Structure 1
Amino acid sequence: MCESNAYIEENGNETLFLETVDIIRPEGMNIYLRDFWGQEKVFKGRIKEISLLKHRIVLVRQECEDV
């Protein structure tokens, strides 16, 4: 299987967000993810890193920008 696990990085720590991610799609300021079994999650932030060899997706929360 070629699916990846998605993790949220905060304060130097990573927590599992979704396992066996099959689809990842940017949608504006959000990241849409769906796993192998059809579970869907939306993360408000950005992709920090994707490692295809390690099957890892690292997400970070979107920082507020001053306007």
Structure 2
Amino acid sequence: MTTDQAWRKSSYSGSEGGNCIEVADTCADTVPVRDSKDPHGPTLTFSTDAWQSFITAVHSGELPTQP
């Protein structure tokens, strides 16, 4: 599943590399997420509702975007 998806890099990922995640938006009920430095490594999968809650929390400033 992880290699056949159309992946995109998070808009919060910097252009210098480092701590980047990629998200696949092509699944109907889930959102796969992976480390861009390890595209063949493990993938976390979230429900679309859980992912939307996470994105909303980041955009509202509830969660930090950098350490």
Same fold? TM cut 0.5: no
TM-score, with length taken from structure 1: 0.37
**TM-score, L = length of structure 2:** 0.37
Structure that is richer in strand per residue: 1
**Structure of greater relative contact order (alpha carbons < 8 Å, 6+ residues apart):** 1
Give the number of the structure whose residues are more often helix, by fraction. 2
